[in-house]
Amino acid sequence: MYTRQERKSSETILQDSGWMTVSLNRFIDWRAKRIDDPFNRLRYLRHATSASMPARRFAGSFRLRRIHLLAAGSMLAFLVISAYTISKRDTPVILPVPQFGAGGARVFPNVWLVDRNAQFEIYSNGLRIEDSYAVANEARGSYPVFGRRHVEASPIEWRTQPAGIVYHTTESNDVPFEPEETSKLQRVGANVLDRTRKYRSYHFVIDRFGRVFRIVNESDAANHAGWSLWGDDRVSYVNLNTCFLGVAFETQTQQGELPSANAAQIHSARVLTEMLRSKYRIPASNCVTHAQVSVNPDNFLVGYHTDWASNFPFSDLGLDDNYLEPPASIDTFGFSYDSTFINATGTRIWQGLILAEEQVRAQALSQGLSVTQYRKVLHHKYREILAAVKTSSAVKEKSNASQ
């Protein structure tokens, strides 16, 4: 048992160590915002994150034994510590794929269909989906998924249900959201819906008034993701048109911390996300933005599209902040990024990039390769998988045509 004085001393030490950590984080953030060049800024964040660890360990060294911390820090801090520790070890260790979320990635909402007719559907959480623009497209059928670690060209399994959601912006004319602009807002919104239906661009569009329109039937693929990659805790997904659902906000991408969507759209996106996660058992970790998954296979750079690159309101949709996730495009397939992508992103997504880079470095060391050599190995794996995906798509198209 501890004396009252020992308990008081330990509490003071814990408060001081917490203050040190918060102050240090604030200073790092303050300093990073004053570095104009994006690459220098990212380099500083990587160095500062690692360099801050001795101070944090020093603060924690005074803690008395058997004092249990009820809140030992965020998962993000744990992952940064892991990356730092691995970079200092003589024997490299492969980082596990992190799983975020206090609520758990496998906890699903409970939403059910209440009413349906030819014009709309209504769900138990208040979601209403308008069906006046709904069209068919290529049937989803089955699609291959690949391992997140030890990637091989052969898929580890085939699936038929949607595995995730990709959030987009329509990049349409941004009419001021004011009462006197109502008729223009309605006209532009109708044009957006006509265009997205013509090109089968998304499964759903959320207009400026928060109305949810079904565009491509959920049973079919939509042309929303193109060249794209994502990975969860176990598998990787290649070219997400088939395996992920596309949800677009009628808005233009804007940089900064404020969301590019209005309050009505965010509310509708939340109830739509709840319904889709409930219906298809989609984990929160697979609800991501277009900027996170878009890639360019020609130059092996991420961020070919940058919609929702910095300010997607994950928490407002009841989701974990997936900007913190290390992208599979980098740590599984060896892609990189350039200044254009960094300029489009915010500090939240940088952490995911740092973790992915640390993962690549650890994997390269474990195989006795330089980072450059290891990236070439991953690039080769990606080309093999891409060829396999294209082959499976061609076989499916031929089968559909014969039927």
pLDDT tens digits along 91-122: 344 444 444 443 344 689 999 999 999 999 99
Q: Which of 143, 126, 147, 161 is nearest to 281 (CA)?
A: 161
Spell out the SS3 assignment of 44-86.
Answer: HHHHHHHHCHHHHHHHHCCCCCCCCCCCCCCHHHHHHHHHHHH
Task: Give me the pLDDT at residue 49, please.
Answer: 60
| Percent of the chain whose predicted confidence (pLDDT) is above 70 | 71
The per-residue pLDDT of the chain, averaged, comes to: 80
Which residue range is the domain that position 280 belongs to?
113-402
Instruction: Work out the pLDDT band at 48, boundaries 50, 70, 90.
Output: low
Secondary structure tally for the chain: helices H, strands E: 11, 14
In a domain, 105, yes or no: no
Give the number of other Cβ atoms within 10 Å of residue 58's Cβ: 11
Average pLDDT value for residue range 264-291: 97
- Does 119 lie in the same domain as 29? no
Kindly tell me if the per-residue pLDDT of 8 is higher than 60: no
Average pLDDT value for residue range 128-157: 91
Average pLDDT value for residue range 341-356: 86
Task: Give me the pLDDT at residue 255, please.
Answer: 78
- Does 196 lie in the same domain as 329? yes
* Of 79 and 173, more confident: 173
Q: Quick one: residue 104, left, alpha or beta (phi over 0 = left, psi -120 to 50 = alpha)?
A: left
Task: Give me the pLDDT at residue 94, please.
Answer: 43
Average pLDDT value for residue range 37-43: 64
Give, for 296, the enclosing helix (H) or strand (E).
strand 295-296
| Contact present, 83 and 98 (Cβ < 8 Å) | no
Task: Give me the pLDDT at residue 154, please.
Answer: 87
Q: What is the number of structural domains in the chain?
A: 2
- Does 136 lie in the same domain as 285? yes
| Percent of the chain whose predicted confidence (pLDDT) is above 90 | 57
Give, for 144, the enclosing helix (H) or strand (E).
strand 143-147
- Does 243 lie in the same domain as 364? yes
Give, for 190, the enclosing helix (H) or strand (E).
helix 182-199
> Are β-strands 204-206 and 212-214 bridged in parallel, bridged antiparallel, or unpaired?
antiparallel
By the 10 Å C-beta count (0-12 exposed, 13-18 middle, 19+ buried), 377 is classed as middle
Where does a domain end: 58, 73, 88?
73
**Domain of residue 263, CATH code:** 3.40.80.10
Average pLDDT value for residue range 395-399: 45
Kindly tell me if the per-residue pLDDT of 87 is higher than 80: no
In a domain, 297, yes or no: yes
In a domain, 335, yes or no: yes
Task: Give me the pLDDT at residue 389, please.
Answer: 84
In a domain, 84, yes or no: no
Q: Can you point out the beta strands (E) in 195-286? A: 204-206, 212-214, 229-231, 235-238, 244-249
Q: In the chain, what are the helix, strand and coil shares in percent, each to the nearest 5?
A: 45, 15, 40
In a domain, 132, yes or no: yes
